[in-house]
Amino acid sequence: MNYKETAKAILDKVGGQENINDFLHCSTRLRMNLKDPSQAKTEEIKAMDGVMGAVYSGGQYQVIIGNDVSYVYNELKQMVTINTEADSQPTKKRDLSFKGLFESFAGLITGIFQPIIPAIAAAGMFKALLLLCTSLGILSKENQLYVLLFNIADSAFYFLPVLLAYSSAKKFNSNPYIAATLAGGLLHPKMIALLGGEVPVHIAGIPVPNISYASSVLPIILTVWLMSYVEKFADKVSPGPVKIFLKPLIVILVMAPLALTVLGPIGNYLGVGLSDGLFWIQGKIGWLTVVILAVFLPFIVMFGMHKVFYPVIFAAMVSPGYETLIHSAMLSSNMAQGAGALAVWFLAKDKKLKQVALPAGISGLFGITEPALYGVHLRLKRTLVACMIGAGSAGLFAGIVNLKAYAAVGPGLASLPMFIGAENNFTYALITAAISIIVTPIAVYFIGFNDPGAESHAQASSGKSVQEETTSVAPKKEKLQSRLVVFSPIEGEAIPLKAVNDEAFSQEAMGKGMAIKPAKGQVVAPFDGTVQTVFRTKHSIGLKSVEGVELLIHVGIDTVKLKGQHFNVVVQEGDLVKHGQLLMEFDMEAIEKAGFDTTTPVIVTNSGDYLEILGYEQSEKIGPETPLITIL
């Protein structure tokens, strides 16, 4: 993958720099806040090499790239300059529907927590490794080196409010350094000593509760949220010559007392309630909660909504100090995704599928599941069911034994020490992972999947080539499970898409396919399906086959300029059509006389949903009974 070209293409297809408010990345996705998400050309982005998928969810436009996402992100940073001033952001009408509010909440949580995840993950693994050292007798907890290293590892958790203050301020468009100062005030050793003393503390007669804010989450987020409004007020009332010190002074004088007397206690009680609520649910439903979450986690990950679990995870890590639902379900699901992809690699005969499945499987076993989910299971579909069976089986065991996670890290083989703690807990984690790794491949084997290479292997054994098989089968009876065939919509001569005299088509910017030099001015349906789009200028039609192939038939190059002249479309959007049915007539001579090339690209616009798009290789005349494109 050329990371620079990929970044540039993504930037162009989301509407350019002017359509981006800000962007970041997680372990596998570019996450962009777009001013106008409708400008993003999602199907074209999905069709790009190196892109596994694209989705708008949680208030963010997410481009799924996989393990190379950081390289694409770094290239994108060189191309985009973000104006971080609050006033530069356009105001949008707020969507008050349940979906709109949930997406806003999810986007808010992701924006706050995603930037601090590397620090938390590293610190969590550091603590897990130290626990492993104590379990193996390498270090004792009284050893000075252990105490030194543990304090370093624990600092990310102890000073979590400072990290959250900075990221929250960036999200709420306020000063991150003032926010960090307020968080530091809550954690100052002398503040802790004062509140813990025998004499009660009051501010203007209001009692200040003795609360430890170390490792807390919600108090500082609430504080910074309100601070963003106070800061705007302070900016308005502060004269220019003294604004540099008067504005932050007003903010601190207002927010520090509010944080200690109101917002901090409210956030603390909400955090404790969140943790207690989670344990209450598990107490009522028991192991079933882990099973349900493990089974449906792929769909949550698919839309990038797993980030909303962060507040629950961090609240549980503060009290009671471990988490028993989300990490257990993630361990079960991650192992299943990875093991399922490796099973596909082992069983498949198709070389391209094997090349995708092997690295995706390894990545999944180490906790990064998007390559396996998007590259393998969503395409094969039946293997996703097998993964859900494996994850549910492992989740059942994890729920019954009440598996506990002691570090906020993505569960995988390398991070298994996160489960070291209570007696037998680490053993339970190993058994959970083993169940998922064993059950999933067995389910893949018995459920099976559509292997494009299996048919090719069978044809090779019988002495037939794929091309011979493609051209010999009766067109309307093409029901093979492992491949789909798009027949020619026009009589003429088939040519490669790269030979088209138009950069957008020749570089496959809209998807893969073929092109036709027409010999007759008629367009017929290349398969059974539905008319999705009839362009206003009549020169182009979008279709969708019953199997889900999305096809664009674009008659001529730049013929949009004719504004519908010389075209006669005989179908409407939503019409059901049969293979060979007339869709459009066009006057070839008139179009060519007007100075336009009648070469017609035929594009699979959802090319990214398939493993391979194979074009017709012969240059002889073709017609409606001739296969033009084979889709694997």
Q: Which residues are catalytic?
A: 26, 554
Query: Measured in whole angstroms, how far is the alpha carbon of residue 112 from the centre of its chain?
Result: 17
Q: What is the amino acid identity at position 445?
A: Y
Q: What are the residues whose beta carbons fall under 8 Å from the beta carbon of 282, sequence distance 6 or more?
A: 289, 324, 325
The answer to whether 560 and 537 are in contact (CB under 8 A) is yes
Burial class (CB in 10 A: 0-12, 13-18, 19+), 472: exposed
DSSP letters, 530-567, are EEEEE-TTSSEEEEEETT--EEEEE-SSSGGGGTTTTE
The answer to whether 37 and 95 are in contact (CB under 8 A) is no
First-last CA distance in the chain: 22
Q: Is 550 helix (H, G, I), strand (E, B) or coil?
A: strand
Q: What are the residues whose beta carbons fall under 8 Å from the beta carbon of 351, sequence distance 6 or more?
A: 453
Q: What is the amino acid identity at position 629?
A: I
- Residue 413's nearest CA partner among 433, 441, 385 is 433
Alpha-carbon gap, residue 453 to 418, rounded angstroms: 40
Query: Measured in whole angstroms, how far is the alpha carbon of residue 297 from the centre of its chain?
Result: 13
Burial class (CB in 10 A: 0-12, 13-18, 19+), 184: middle
CA-atom Rg of the chain in angstroms: 29
The answer to whether 59 and 106 are in contact (CB under 8 A) is yes
Q: Supply 292's token pair.
A: 């349900």
Q: What is the amino acid identity at position 466?
A: V
Alpha-carbon gap, residue 325 to 330, rounded angstroms: 9
Alpha-carbon gap, residue 379 to 103, rounded angstroms: 26
Alpha-carbon gap, residue 135 to 147, rounded angstroms: 15
* CB count in 10 Å sphere of residue 309: 19
Q: Which residues pair with 251 in a beta bridge?
A: none
* CB count in 10 Å sphere of residue 354: 16
Q: How many CA atoms lie within 13 A of 460 on its CB side?
A: 8
